């Protein structure tokens, strides 16, 4: 498809009055309104813009590699109040709708987060589950089956994590996951109305804000880390940096180092390196990325589960995390987890097609699109079986699974979040070239297209590994760090991305819903 020019407007700053997310309902007392110092530091080795999962793990990895670094983090609102604090609360690798090496990277990211949570006993409600992907389109389900068959044949290390469940005799058509043979039917998975399902190992639900809050609090306690909330960054300017601020270099390189003035609403900070962990808001500081990383508004609701038929019975427990997928006719790309008791809220997101303009180009998360909110209240009960299942295997209020009557569920929170959709579909990680508004010392880690949780932590580790040795360009970096080569930010990739279809065009054909390559 012919390239189009950059006609997309840059994003604005995060708004002051965002909708209230379930995940932000228990803010950290340490982080709320936090400013490590009353005044902005005048200088730093590294300034990180953004305090979500990318910024937090970038700071963590930088301090691991170089404990003496002076790191300043600037956040426009409260800590972790952007996409990480507004997502669906799940983390699972895309095993079959990504190339195998990218699926392996997402698996490593999932494993890294799981090990990090467990080793530090982080109270973020990390719960390992299986992921159930219910397909309500026979065409998409068959396409997925074809991909999975090839993956299981050519990449068994990835394919072994996936099971296909069909309507044939109500039995799974692929190797069942260990310990779950009895429930691996569409009815057993609560998606009896689906055309088929994909079940994968290595999924998790979590409280994402609490994970990031733990990382930030730990950094503050260790020292050498300065967090400044409610400090929006309004601009960047490249300058020469005094040698005493160039601690990441030595000798002649040290004397020649450049740097950046970071302008904020409260003053300026001089830094040798600046990392933009700004995701959907990247183009506010780099207008050249307006058509490369586009803000897209999504909505999520926390819903009260249906009460059990009898008060003495245990509450609904759906056991898995879910995706619900259909073709362009319905345009369903929804996701669901359940919170632990006693609340046991159902965290359900999706319905973007019902938003004005599909939410494309929207960076304001202060309002709700009522058609989307209504969809989230009513649609879930028609997609899955909410019957209570007792330990003996009996059910109360169960349907045959082929038709499920819809009923509204009561929301406790309804919120919006802004995702950063990438023009070529992959995150942008690495040094920003001069042609894109950057130069030596400016770095980017953003553009996850709604898939940040199984990518961001190791993307952040990768960019931290680029910053510490003072790499000045992207040549060969992908070979020296753990990062898919598609993710590396280079001038050549930017040129190729602008020759691709626009994000609006890709969204029209459903590319960000489920982009399956069946070749």
pLDDT digits (tens, 9 = 90+) for 313-348: 777 899 999 999 998 777 788 999 999 999 999 999
Give the whole-number percent of the chain exceeding pLDDT 70.
85
Strand partners, 494: none
Average pLDDT on 449-464 reads 97
Q: Quote the pLDDT of residue 2.
A: 30
Q: Quote the pLDDT of residue 240.
A: 80
Lowest-pLDDT range of 64-73, 106-115, 369-378, 503-512: 503-512
Residue 399: pLDDT over 80: no
Give the whole-number percent of the chain exceeding pLDDT 90.
76
281 pLDDT band (50/70/90 cuts)? Answer: very high
396 pLDDT band (50/70/90 cuts)? Answer: very low
Q: Quote the pLDDT of residue 312.
A: 62
Separation in Å, CA 195 to CA 123, 168, 229, 291, 312: 38, 10, 47, 37, 35
> Considering only CA atoms, which of 427, 334, 320, 422 is closest in space to residue 105?
427
Lowest-pLDDT range of 116-130, 169-183, 251-265: 169-183
Q: Return phi, psi of residue 243, to 5°.
A: -60, -30
Q: Report the C-alpha gap between 320 and 90 in whole angstroms.
A: 11
pTM over 0.85: yes
> DSSP readout, 155-197?
-HHHHTTEEEE-SGGG-BSSPPPTT-TTT-STTTTT-TTSSEE
Half-sphere exposure (Cβ direction) of 210: Cα atoms closer than 13 Å: 16
Q: Report the C-alpha gap between 385 and 399 in whole angstroms.
A: 7
pLDDT digits (tens, 9 = 90+) for 207-221: 999 999 999 999 999
In the predicted model, what is the mean pLDDT of the chain? 88
Q: Quote the pLDDT of residue 315.
A: 79
pLDDT digits (tens, 9 = 90+) for 67-108: 999 999 999 999 999 999 999 999 999 999 899 999 999 999
Q: Quote the pLDDT of residue 474.
A: 47
Residue 249: pLDDT over 70: no
Cis peptide before 342 (omega within 30 of 0): yes
């Amino acid at each position: 498809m012919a390239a189009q020019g950059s006609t997309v407007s840059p994003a604005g700053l995060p708004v002051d009055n965002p909708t209230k997310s379930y995940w932000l309902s228990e803010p950290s007392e340490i982080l709320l309104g936090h400013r490590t110092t009353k005044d902005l530091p005048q200088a730093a080795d590294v300034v990180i813009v953004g305090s979500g999962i990318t910024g937090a793990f970038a700071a963590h990895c930088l301090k691991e590699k170089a404990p003496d670094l002076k790191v300043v983090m600037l956040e426009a609102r409260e800590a972790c109040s952007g996409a990480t604090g507004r997502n669906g609360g799940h983390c699972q690798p895309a095993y079959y709708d990504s190339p195998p090496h990218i699926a392996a990277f997402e698996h490593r990211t999932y494993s890294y987060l799981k090990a990090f949570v467990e080793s530090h006993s982080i109270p973020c409600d990390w719960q390992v589950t299986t992921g159930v992907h219910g397909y309500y389109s026979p065409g998409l389900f068959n396409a997925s089956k074809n991909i999975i068959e090839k993956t299981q044949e050519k990449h068994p290390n990835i394919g072994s994590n996936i099971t296909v469940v069909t309507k044939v005799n109500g039995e799974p058509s692929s190797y069942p996951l260990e310990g779950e043979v009895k429930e691996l039917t569409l009815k057993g998975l609560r998606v009896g109305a689906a055309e088929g399902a994909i079940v994968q190992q290595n999924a998790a639900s979590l409280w994402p804000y609490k994970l990031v809050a733990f990382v930030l609090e730990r950094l503050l306690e260790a020292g050498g880390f300065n967090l400044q909330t409610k400090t929006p960054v309004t601009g960047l300017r490249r300058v020469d940096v005094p040698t005493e601020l160039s601690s990441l270099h030595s000798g002649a390189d040290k004397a020649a180092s450049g740097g950046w003035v970071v302008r904020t609403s409260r003053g300026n900070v001089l830094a040798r390196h600046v990392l933009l962990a700004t995701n959907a808001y990247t183009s506010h500081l780099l207008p050249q990325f307006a058509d490369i990383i586009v803000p897209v508004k999504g909505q999520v609701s926390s819903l009260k589960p249906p009460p059990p038929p009898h008060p003495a019975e245990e509450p609904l427990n759906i056991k898995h995390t879910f995706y619900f997928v259909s073709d362009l006719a319905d345009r369903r790309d929804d996701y669901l987890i359940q919170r632990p008791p006693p609340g046991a809220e159902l965290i359900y997101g999706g319905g973007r097609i019902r938003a004005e303009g599909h939410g494309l180009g929207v960076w304001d998360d202060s309002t709700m699109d009522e058609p989307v909110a209504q969809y989230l209240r009513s649609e879930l009960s028609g997609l899955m079986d909410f019957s209570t299942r007792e330990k003996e295997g009996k059910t109360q209020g169960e349907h045959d699974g082929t038709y499920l009557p819809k009923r509204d569920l009561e929301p406790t929170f309804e919120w919006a979040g802004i995702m950063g959709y990438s023009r070529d579909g992959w995150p942008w990680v690495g040094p920003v070239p001069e042609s894109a508004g950057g130069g030596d010392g400016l770095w980017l880690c953003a553009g996850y297209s709604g898939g940040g949780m199984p990518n961001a932590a190791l993307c952040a580790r990768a960019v931290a590994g680029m910053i510490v040795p003072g790499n000045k360009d992207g040549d060969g970096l992908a070979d020296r760090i753990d990062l898919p080569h598609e993710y590396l930010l280079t001038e050549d990739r930017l040129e190729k991305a602008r020759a691709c279809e626009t994000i609006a065009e890709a969204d029209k054909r459903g590319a960000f819903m489920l982009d399956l390559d069946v070749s």
